[in-house]
Structure 1
Amino acid sequence: MTGPIEDANVWHARAKEHENARTQNESQNSTTVQARNQTKPLRDLQDRVYDLETYVKGAGTRPISAERYLGSVHPAGPGSTSDKNTLLETERALLRGKGFKTQYFGPTHGASLLLQFEELSRYVKDILQRLPTLEKHRNMWKYQRKELSPNLMLPTFDTLVALLPEQSRADILVQDYFETLETTYRVLHAPTFFRKYKEFWTASFKGDFSVFLVQLLLVCASVNCSVAGAPTGFKGRNTVGRDMAVKWIDICESWLNIQSQKHMTLEVFQVRVLLVIAKKLNCVKIKREWTVSGQLLRQAMSSGFHREPTFLSKNISVFDQEMRRRLWFTIVELDLQVSIDRGMGASIGPFDWDTLPPLNLHDEDLDESTETLPPARPISEFTRTSFLCLAQQHLSLRLDIVARMNSIRGGLESDTAIELDQKIRQILDTLPAWKDDAAKVMSKDLSELLLYEFLLLIHQPFATQTDGQAQHFYSRAARRSAALSTMKIFTSLRSSSGKTMCHLRDDLYRACLATCHDIIVFNSKDALMQDRGIAVGLIEDSVNLMEERIRTGGQGFHSYWLASSALGLLRSIPVEKSAQETADRVARLHDYMMSQQIAPLEGGSTNGLEDAAMSTANTLVGMSGQPTPALPELDPFVTTTTDPFNAFSETLYDFDITDLWSMGGMGALPTQY
């Protein structure tokens, strides 16, 4: 494969070496393979005898040999027990289907009794055998339903091809995606993807590549706004790059909505996860993120991803087992992060799954022909899955903290916060020091950010209390340290990784506000505790990163506006002047967006969005320009109205929404202005 991917992707080269070595090894050991194939029917017969004996003894349960399927390569997962036979003898859940075409039915499902009611199961099978016309009628009904139902049109292959960027651009986007997102949240199997990627470009768009094209479009959409080189310009408040990515997302979502929910495949489930990631990174329907991630989690659970496949089924290959584990923990991580940013409880508890953790393996260590998983590599050796293996070790702890903090009945006590603080810091101390360049792109930093975020969160309720300052001294210092560390990590990332991380998480915005609050409210009493210059510098760098995010994606005004205002409040200059500078800064950003507007096609119709945007930008510039209307001098620390400040007012909170761009001018401002 030509292009930047072949030059920069070390794993792709390893995939070729692995494939060549395996081909040579298979040719040298053909005799051994033949002998193994001859013994396979005997092994299958032994397994069937074992199953039959188990059925008789266990009254319908069917335990799976732990020695055969688990071996010693997987550590114990949450909710699992060392006595696998005991767990399976009492199991009352059903996992039906093969591969990814599985459906899970829990213990309360009515049919779960059939596992202990073998007599009824045999009786029903006997009845079905006596109804030969039933299958014939069922096929007839399926045919009639297909004929009477309108045909749903999938996006055509030519439509998907037409939406693709040029190969040179696609190479860069795919490379960045695999360097950042695919070394953190595992969705794709790299050798399989790259093989199809090469075949697609060399086959001159011939062949059945529809599913792959949907995956490729979502991969490109995920990082299109973060990677330099996208078309410049704005359409309203959206950059051309984001507008293009949203079109890719929409066509892929329409393709997914028509897919069968019954006959699921690995590729289609990967599209489901990629769609959620792409929407998150392009701020598509941000108010629905929590419900969308929860829906994805429920879809995974309905397919039984939350259950260890080796406990309940023998119809899932070794490769599919490991991919299910990767996808499950990726989905849980995505839902947990969205829950934190929304301030809601996660959709799952720390003891609601028994899926074993994914193994720390290179993608080249396994493929669809793998019969036995190799031993896991040490966590100190970095692979694409290392971040996920590391994150799942403290996943239950983080879920428990979120449940406590966002519960309407719960909350954290001061002593509990200190205990959790110690647990998190112990994990921080044991993080592996990966030296690989691939780990430094995002995985190493995100492993730390996961923990610093929770340090900030657990101390926030106590650090903001103005009374009992001596009692909560440690919480204030811990929150300050976590916030500064968060900002330092974000601002030291490479440009594309920093913008991607800003879209994935809200902890940079949270850290900026926490630091500003700490300096303004408490700095007068603890002036020696913090170097104000370093803190202000980190906040300014963070605000610059938020601004760059808007310049490339057109999204993120709410956090940028408030962080810019907090930065202005920190300036060691009169408040009136700092407020004017902040207003000028926001106005300059809007002026830049207006100067980059793409002219509509001649003769084409518009919805007035660009005109409204231009009018609003002029309004903001007018509000911040030097000749300002005569207004009474206001003391920002004195209440001038009986109405309290509403941090979640419609105008403030919906700063990203088109309502602001429809104001038109000063005369059209809402009454609260």
Structure 2
Amino acid sequence: MLLADSSHSPPDASTGQQRPAAEPLMIRSLTVKEGVQTRYFGQMSARVLLNLFDEAKEFMFNRNKPADIRELFVNIQKVHTSLQEEHVRATTPMTVFVDSMTPIQKRMVDILPRKAVCDQLVQVYIRSTETIFRMTHVPTFMHQYNMYWQGQPRPDVFLPQLLSILCIGYRFIGPGKGLSPDREGIHIPTACALVRTWLDSLRGKQLAEFSTLQCEVLQLAARRMIKPQNQESWTHLGLIVRMAMTMGLHRDPSEFGQKISPFWAEIRRRMWYTILEFDIQMSTQCNLPCSIRHGDFSCRPPRNINDEDLWPDMTELPESKPIEQDTDCRMQVFAASTMAGRFKVADILNRIDSLRDYQEVLDLGKELERCFDEVRYILPNTDPVDASGKRRQWMTRVIMDMHCRRPLLALYRPFALSTRDAPQQIMTGYLRSSMILLSYLDEMDPSSPEYAHAWHLSHLVLKQDLLQAAFSVCYYIQHAIPNLSSPRMSSPRSSPWSSSTKSDSVEDACVVACESSILLSVPRLKRKVEEILESMVRRIREIGTDTKDLIALTVVLSICVGGTPEQKRERIKQGMQAILDAGLQAIRLNQESITSMPMVAPPPSFPSNAMPTTLGAANQSSSPFVTSPDVSDLTPDDYSAWEMDFWTPLLQPGST
């Protein structure tokens, strides 16, 4: 694989001016295993973000680490392997239900918890999910739900829908919920497997029923509770989008005269915009094209009305309420109003190599920034009377803000972190949005009884966003620290937000961004990343989450804050020891036990001549405590200190 050197933007032939071009190594990657297994990773992936930090990357890939740090790497990998094995066991469906010859509806009934538990999980689902994603008409579903517990007939699709809803609700209750058999909940892997079996058994006209589409979308949301791999969801979502289009959901119901009642017309609009929301989010996070483009559909957004304002026999829809008035559908209506801009972001990201200048990016950035002002207008920061109201207000604001913050970060990311001449608006705007995303929980009182639930929700929904933002803040720390004491440029600046202003260097642009607000000062940036790291280490301790990205972030932060080689090494050691201790607690072992465990080294996933050229030239490296390995001498045992899948080195420009 060859990657062109794009450190300098190619000139625009028509104007002779430089056009923006991000370095490919900094915005995308492709892993290749055994020569045929490949997977594409976009700019949000930690394995791509790590390429921003040469010194940290060289340290992680080097075999000649100090003995104490090397031992930490080996022990953490053992913990990681144990956690992965436990995760596989926890997410494996129970064969007694999945492989049974009993009719599928009977097996679904058998795994249902008792009614009191179902009541709780359904209400959690409604409060947490039926907000920006409108997958059910709540009164209709609750009518079927009550009929079921009264022993009355119900549609065959009801149980699959109920199981998916229970899965989503149970996962939102707390860490680890739904990953082990529990009489007070539901085993999510088993429930999802049964629903998938039922869906795969449908044939013919059943595949064109709205309730089947409803079940498919609910199943997608439920599976993401335990398997949040964006690429798998993106692939399956493509099928759902096409299924919805074959049912005509992409066209507004008014185009079909009296064939569709007002009630079903509005329910179809809600479902279509839910599918679009999933499509935009997953496509942006994967850095892959949307399954449908803005303009390929005519369906109008749903109205800002409550579910109780809709009923099957109604002859006319009520007028939409003002957006500042709270309703069951307000968040989806707000998200729909921003959808055009977010579709543009996905489009720009997938044709980034053809951009001629920054103007389109700047204009779209300003459009998204205006959405944040709308959020503040719609949801003024009032003081609720109780803790529950505080959490609901916080969650509503975060959901609205997040669905504009994510695309803004995705839009600015390729230029803020990968080009030399990005306008200051992009540099400062990207840092500011990264810090806001990292600071969502700051609105909540840590002593409040609602804080633990909010903390769980933030990590469940925003884990990858938090990691991306933390890596990004480290990039600014890395470039700002060596230059804060240097003489500043003498050229005047009207404002750091001036779209036409460009800094003389990346370092200067980072300094200007950090000095634009006290909230963006380097000490505060450092403290915020440390807080996120501590929070994620705690998450490992409580539920045994993945350790790989945290190791990379620990090394990156430890090196970016500067200091002597000994200080950097000691910070790395302390950070990795904290990760190891948390992992040992998660698997209930002590350090002596994990040290005595045998290390089974995985085979190298790449040939020795595919090592990065920066390692081959590490003797001239800027890292004073990393020495270069002799690539030709590496054995599988040498890889054991750092071979953790995403650390597979990427080819540098000029490599083959």
TM-score, shorter chain, exceeding 0.5: yes
Q: Which residue of 2 aligns with 1:194?
A: 142
CA distance, structure 2, for counterparts of residue 225 and residue 616 of structure 1 = 34
Matches within 5 A, 1:524-563: 524-526=482-484, 529=515, 530-547=520-537, 554-563=544-553
CA distance, structure 2, for counterparts of residue 365 and residue 427 of structure 1 = 28
* Alpha carbons of structure 1 residues 441 and 175: separation in structure 2 relative to 1, 3 Å: farther
Q: Which residue of 2 aligns with 1:215?
A: 161
Residues 481 and 562, structure 2, Cα contact 8 Å, conserved in 1: no
In structure 2, the gaps of 5 or more residues are 1-99, 445-450, 485-510, 602-618, 632-641, 648-656
CA distance, structure 1, for counterparts of residue 456 and residue 596 of structure 2 = 24
Q: Please state how far the C-alpha of 1:481 moved relative to its aligned partner.
A: 0.3
* Alpha carbons of structure 1 residues 617 and 515: separation in structure 2 relative to 1, 3 Å: farther
CA distance, structure 1, for counterparts of residue 460 and residue 624 of structure 2 = 32
Residues 336 and 346, structure 1, Cα contact 8 Å, conserved in 2: yes
Q: Which amino acid aligns with 2:226?
A: N
Residues 416 and 426, structure 2, Cα contact 8 Å, conserved in 1: yes
Q: Which residue of 2 aligns with 1:510?
A: 468
User: Aligned to 1:478, which of 429, 442, 465?
Assistant: 429
User: Aligned to 1:348, which of 285, 292, 310?
Assistant: 292
Q: Which residue of 2 aligns with 1:98?
A: none
Residues 163 and 195, structure 2, Cα contact 8 Å, conserved in 1: yes
Q: Which moved more, 1:553-562 or 1:585-594?
A: 553-562
Q: Please state how far the C-alpha of 1:158 moved relative to its aligned partner.
A: 3.1
CA distance, structure 2, for counterparts of residue 541 and residue 492 of structure 1 = 15
Q: Which amino acid aligns with 2:531?
A: D
Q: Please state how far the C-alpha of 1:355 moved relative to its aligned partner.
A: 0.1
Q: Please state how far the C-alpha of 1:363 moved relative to its aligned partner.
A: 0.4
Q: Which residue of 1 aligns with 2:400?
A: 447
Please say if 1:169 is aligned against 2:117. yes
* Alpha carbons of structure 1 residues 344 and 323: separation in structure 2 relative to 1, 3 Å: same
* Alpha carbons of structure 1 residues 288 and 186: separation in structure 2 relative to 1, 3 Å: same
User: Aligned to 1:640, which of 606, 612, 628?
Assistant: 628
Q: Which residue of 2 aligns with 1:595?
A: 588
Please say if 1:433 is aligned against 2:362. no
Q: Which residue of 2 aligns with 1:519?
A: 477
Q: Which residue of 2 aligns with 1:139?
A: none
Report which of the two structures shows the higher radius of gyration computed on alpha carbons: 1
Q: Please state how far the C-alpha of 1:374 moved relative to its aligned partner.
A: 0.7
* Alpha carbons of structure 1 residues 413 and 199: separation in structure 2 relative to 1, 3 Å: same
Residues 117 and 184, structure 2, Cα contact 8 Å, conserved in 1: no
Q: Please state how far the C-alpha of 1:454 moved relative to its aligned partner.
A: 2.7
What CA deviation, in whole Å up to 9, does each residue of 1:427-473 have, x standing for no partner?
222234336848525332121112222332222233225744xx633
What CA deviation, in whole Å up to 9, does each residue of 1:89-146 have, x standing for no partner?
xxxxxxxxxxxxxxxxxxxxxxxxxxxxxxxxxxxxxxxxxxxxxxxxxxxxxxxxxx
TM-score of the two chains, using structure 1 as the length reference: 0.62
Q: Which moved more, 1:374-383 or 1:212-221?
A: 212-221
Q: Which residue of 1 aligns with 2:106?
A: 158
Q: Which residue of 1 aligns with 2:574?
A: 581
Q: Please state how far the C-alpha of 1:364 moved relative to its aligned partner.
A: 0.4
Please say if 1:379 is aligned against 2:323. yes
Percent identical pairs in the alignment equals 22
Q: Which residue of 2 aligns with 1:53?
A: none
Residues 301 and 336, structure 2, Cα contact 8 Å, conserved in 1: yes
CA distance, structure 2, for counterparts of residue 507 and residue 219 of structure 1 = 25
CA distance, structure 1, for counterparts of residue 521 and residue 266 of structure 2 = 48
What CA deviation, in whole Å up to 9, does each residue of 1:221-279 have, x standing for no partner?
124333138669879xxx99999211111111111111235234333221111111112
TM-score of the two chains, using structure 2 as the length reference: 0.63
Residues 305 and 329, structure 2, Cα contact 8 Å, conserved in 1: yes
CA distance, structure 2, for counterparts of residue 351 and residue 362 of structure 1 = 28
Q: Please state how far the C-alpha of 1:556 moved relative to its aligned partner.
A: 4.6
Residues 297 and 331, structure 1, Cα contact 8 Å, conserved in 2: yes
Residues 357 and 389, structure 1, Cα contact 8 Å, conserved in 2: yes
CA distance, structure 2, for counterparts of residue 167 and residue 541 of structure 1 = 40
In structure 1, the gaps of 5 or more residues are 1-151, 598-613, 623-631, 644-649, 656-673
Q: Please state how far the C-alpha of 1:489 moved relative to its aligned partner.
A: 1.6
Q: Which amino acid aligns with 2:476?
A: D
* Alpha carbons of structure 1 residues 368 and 555: separation in structure 2 relative to 1, 3 Å: farther
CA distance, structure 2, for counterparts of residue 243 and residue 206 of structure 1 = 23
What CA deviation, in whole Å up to 9, does each residue of 1:351-377 have, x standing for no partner?
111001100010000011222111111
Please say if 1:316 is aligned against 2:306. no
User: Aligned to 2:309, which of 346, 352, 365?
Assistant: 365
Q: Which residue of 1 aligns with 2:171?
A: 225
Matches within 5 A, 1:61-76: none
Residues 180 and 441, structure 1, Cα contact 8 Å, conserved in 2: no
Q: Which amino acid aligns with 1:449?
A: M
* Alpha carbons of structure 1 residues 554 and 299: separation in structure 2 relative to 1, 3 Å: farther
